[in-house]
Structure 1
Amino acid sequence: MNIPATHERLRFNMIEQQIRPWDVHDPDVLALLAEIRREDYVPTVHRALAFFDMELPLGNAAMPGQTMLAPKIEARTLNDLKVQKHESVLEIGTGSGFMAALLAHRAAKVLTLEIDATLAERAAATLARNGVTNVEVRHADGSKPLASGPTFDVIVLSGSVARIPQGLLGSLNIGGRLAAIVGNEPMMRAHFVTRVSEGQWETTQPWDTIAPRLLNFPEPSPFNF
């Protein structure tokens, strides 16, 4: 496939003007962002905006509001997780499949869950078309426990939640990390939770951002007494 020169210029500008200034300095992550064609995962109608610093609608009328996260959010999350080649990853919120593709190039295998059947099917097809073979896309509600109860080295929530889902922490292996954007507008914060031992977790909150909600995770009551 011939890649338009304009895409390469836009990709370079995305990395140098949006992503690197956002404290993404891992050379392997930067090289991966230059290699994986983000435009392949963007709905055709929005492909001209693939490299812009913005969320992009994924265009499913049955479940409106589903979006692709801004490039710098995906890049910084990948940078801070430090995913290793032997590790297993669970992603909740497949969306376009782009984050799953990035994770797949860093990890041994990725299971990604998407609540929207149309998006799950589309993401699986896009990943296959781009030669990504170590990702399983599963149509499932990520807010519900996994039936088989597997554990993972890395868990990524590709969207925001009101609070860290405590049930997911038990699905981390020792040394495993969970990444989630937590809070409410107008300010949310990235949380990275590491399981350091059987009953101990450590949390860092290195940066602020805003991201759309993942569906069906608990929300706090609006009433205060």
Structure 2
Amino acid sequence: MLGIIVLITISWLILYLIEKKTILALGLLPIKKRLKQFLVGFLITGILCFYNQYLEIFLKSSIWVLSENSTSEIILKSIWWDVKSVLTEELIFRGALLYIIIQKMSSQKGILLSAIAFGIYHWFSYGVLGNIMGMLFVFIGTGLMGYAWALAFSKTKSIILPFGLHLGWNFTYNTIFSNGPLGELLLISQGGNELTGWASLLNFINGLIIIPVLVLIYVRYFVKEETEIIEK
């Protein structure tokens, strides 16, 4: 929690020193509109993650079962972990710095730089640094998703939609389907076969390319371009 407070403080300071703006420049208002954007984004990526996980168990011929270790305390801890990790990444990659780059340069350059930085960051968070193929695949997948989320920031003039899109995926992937660093949570995969050959390739392409492209299509064609930021 301390890290989040520090990031918000630094973001506020940067915005004030460079743009004479407050943290509200990140598009936190109006609350009703931003809440709707958050919920829509959360549902879209949550549904896409369900589809992604369903395809994987279909290809594996496995099933999802409720974890015997699942408790309300563990689930709440995981949700909080998801919120903190997502908010941290959003403040860094779709926060004050992206806002300033867009203001000083252009939306296109800001979005591209944000996507590149997001892809490179995941070399470290995924532990693939030095593995050329792994670095390439991670960069493409996370870079595409980062591009979609940065575009969402640019179009809505707000951090809220990208936060919702990001959290919807991470919460579903980590907490519901137990794919995160906290181990078994709500559902766990049981039985089935290891993916090989075309099945492995299809599952790989789906998660790496198809899902990010679907998110990008939604943001590009279905998210309305806003023209101003409300600060009060």
Look at both structures and tell me which one has the larger radius of gyration over its CA atoms: 2
User: Do Structure 1 and Structure 2 share a fold, with TM-score over 0.5?
Assistant: no
TM value normalised by structure 2: 0.29
Higher relative contact order (CA 8 A, sep 6+): 2
- Which of the pair is proportionally richer in helix? 2
